[in-house]
Amino acid sequence: MTNDPNDIFMLTNRSKVMEKKQMTLAERLYLPAIAGGMSITFRHIFKKSATVQYPEQLRPIAPVYRGHHVLKRDEAGAERCTACGLCAVACPAEAITMTAAERKKGEENLYREEKYAAIYEINMLRCIFCGLCEEACPKEAIFLTDRLIPSNYGRQGFIFGKDKLVETMDNPVDVTKRQTPAVLEFKKDKFHQHNVTIKDLIDIEEH
């Protein structure tokens, strides 16, 4: 390094001396720039459009896509969630909150276990759709589906409660793609109490 003050600009050999050229008349009228821009526009007219007319037109999504959660019911229509909180503990984004309640007599057809989630909320703005809640759930109550989260103008609209999460009786959400053979096999094991449905209990009583 010398004592020449210009040396400081040569450290990376990337410095470039800019030349201030006089602009031609055409350049001053922006003609080359306009012609260049128009040529790009015309080239794109004949290319396949990248725009998708959502929501009428949907992009194909990957088979492993994880979207809108669903809280499942069992075969008899009772809510599977027992408000154990394991999904909330597993959630890295702290997106899940719930309030547990005791099932009352006569509500056996509504809730599968003695304890159920009176309030169950997922903040979709916090959720990163990692699927850990689904993995943590011992009751096969929560699954991520291929449904998209609808857009909304307000933050409050992204707090999804049971009204948006629990599947309706007349329109069950198919989660078979997310149930591995190991999970399906485990479900058949009635030794585990949470695999026993109301339908099983009725069958036992009848026989």
Q: For binding to ligand SF4 (CB under 6 A), which residues are involved?
A: 81-87, 90-93, 95-96, 98, 117, 122, 127-133, 136-137, 139, 141-142
For residue 171, what are the β-bridge partners?
Answer: 168
Q: What span, in angstroms and rounded, lies between the C-alpha atoms of 61 and 67?
A: 11
Q: What span, in angstroms and rounded, lies between the C-alpha atoms of 152 and 100?
A: 28
Of 162, 87, 153, nearest to 125 by C-alpha is 153
Residue burial 85-96, b: 16+ Cβ < 10 Å; e: rest: ebbbebbeeebb
**Which CB sits closer to ligand SF4, 77 or 85?**
85
**Which CB sits closer to ligand SF4, 27 or 94?**
94
Q: What span, in angstroms and rounded, lies between the C-alpha atoms of 168 and 71?
A: 10
Closest separation in Å from C-beta 89 to ligand SF4: 8
Closest separation in Å from C-beta 70 to ligand SF4: 10
Q: For 131, phi and psi rounded to 5 degrees?
A: 85, 5
**Which CB sits closer to ligand SF4, 10 or 64?**
64
Closest separation in Å from C-beta 46 to ligand SF4: 42
Secondary structure of residue 168 in the 3-state scheme: strand
**Which CB sits closer to ligand SF4, 158 or 200?**
158
**Which CB sits closer to ligand SF4, 57 or 156?**
156
Closest separation in Å from C-beta 176 to ligand SF4: 18
Secondary structure of residue 102 in the 3-state scheme: strand
Closest separation in Å from C-beta 171 to ligand SF4: 20
